[in-house]
Amino acid sequence: KKNIIIDCDPGHDDVMAILLALANQDKFNILGVTTVAGNQTLERVTLNLRKLYTYLGISTPAASGAAKPIIRELTTGKEVHGETGLDGWDFPEPTFQLDSTNAMTFMYEKIMNLEDKVILVPTGPLTNIGLLFSAFPEIKEKVEAISLMGGSIYSGNYTPNAEFNIYVDPEAAKIVFNSGIPIIMSGLEVTHKAAITDEEIEKLRAMDGRISKMCGELLHFYTRYHRREGYSSYPLHDVCSIMYLLHPEIFEYKDLQVYIDTSDGPSRGKTFADLREWVKYERPNARVLLNIDRERFIDILFEGFKKLDEI
């Protein structure tokens, strides 16, 4: 089993990523889930996680982390995810209780208490992990890989050059990309191909299972922003970072050297990749996912939802 910690800002696609991990606990030992400010304020995304857990009736440990980026002011993604950060489904009042420690201490303890190495799966801004590596550099020895959603090689989404998660906290991203730990980067090149269609969302909405239906309704809300922006199918960004750990064979990738732009100019938060074929790096820092078998992706995701429906 792979030991994982999901660090997220739920967020519609974050929730789908968490659900995919929960549906595959025969392959994952989920040490915990931590939250970070991004799609909405820390308070709201943490409340969303608690609501989700209460709805699912689960007790996987969870903790909340950084309320703002290391240096920058917080930018949220409320245009996409709504006022609550997870609009589209009426969750019951949350009763799930968080761990009393901060995400950084929580991660430190979970990782250090385990003999085996851990894989981190960040699907929001990289603030918590940047802080963790700065405060406890020795922890890096125990991190096998980081499968993250963030960045893009060609074009951004939040700005022409930058993808949202990296744009929000480029300083944290720089710490992570320079950590020496192998990174699997699910950037926009692959996540825009990991898109769900209206027909597929309607299929979920029409289902009886309480998880599939909830996902259908959440995704129905998620289409609003994208439709306004001219999309006709909807990228399930964060799901890619869990999916790669389960089914690497459905992806195509290139191992590249990736740099983070922390400047204040128009490239703030850009993930620059060195695409010069003749430059051979001894050890590229990131496996950049570029393509995906979309049909398989959707089938595996829906199977996961169905599995959770039956619990």
Residue at 4: amino acid letter: I
Query: What is the C-alpha separation between 140 and 111, in angstroms, rounded?
Result: 10
Q: Which is nearer to ligand BDR, 156 or 216 (CB)?
A: 156
Reading the block at residue 256, the tokens are 């590249």
Query: What is the C-alpha separation between 220 and 202, in angstroms, rounded?
Result: 8
Q: Which is nearer to ligand BDR, 238 or 261 (CB)?
A: 238
Minimum Å gap between C-beta 247 and ligand BDR is 20
Minimum Å gap between C-beta 88 and Ca ion is 15
Minimum Å gap between C-beta 12 and ligand BDR is 7
Minimum Å gap between C-beta 164 and ligand BDR is 4
238 binds ligand BDR per the rule CB under 6 A: yes
CA 39 vs. chain centroid, Å, equals 11
Beta bridge partners, 70, equal none
CB atoms within 10 A of CB 49: 28
189 binds ligand BDR per the rule CB under 6 A: no
Q: Is 192 a catalytic residue?
A: no
Site string for ligand BDR, 50-89 (x = CB under 6 A): ---------------------------x--x---------
HSE of 52, CA atoms in CB hemisphere, 13 A: 33
Minimum Å gap between C-beta 80 and ligand BDR is 5
CA 101 vs. chain centroid, Å, equals 22
**Residues 81, 192, 237, 247: which is the catalytic one?**
237
Cis peptide before 11 (omega within 30 of 0): yes
Q: Which is nearer to ligand BDR, 116 or 229 (CB)?
A: 229
Read off φ and ψ for residue 57, nearest 5 degrees: 70, 35
Site string for ligand BDR, 3-32 (x = CB under 6 A): --------x-xx------------------
Query: What is the C-alpha separation between 46 and 106, in angstroms, rounded?
Result: 15
Query: Considering CB distances under 5 to 8 angstroms, the limit depending on partner class, which of Ca ion, ligand BDR, none binds residue 223?
Result: none
39 binds ligand BDR per the rule CB under 6 A: yes
Could you tell me the CA-to-CA distances from 278 to 18, 60, 154, 256 in Å, in that order? 39, 47, 19, 12
11 binds Ca ion per the rule CB under 5 A: yes
CB 50, CB 98: distance < 8 Å = yes
Minimum Å gap between C-beta 218 and ligand BDR is 12
SS3 108: helix
Q: Which is nearer to ligand BDR, 137 or 266 (CB)?
A: 266
CA nearest 13: which of 50, 47, 38? 38
Query: What is the C-alpha separation between 11 and 8, in angstroms, rounded?
Result: 8
48 binds ligand BDR per the rule CB under 6 A: no
Size of the site for Ca ion (CB under 5 A): 6
Query: What is the C-alpha separation between 126 and 107, in angstroms, rounded?
Result: 13
Q: Which is nearer to ligand BDR, 121 or 207 (CB)?
A: 121
Contacting residues toward Ca ion, per CB under 5 A: 9, 11, 14, 123-124, 238
Contacting residues toward ligand BDR, per CB under 6 A: 11, 13-14, 39, 77, 80, 123-124, 149, 157, 163-165, 237-238
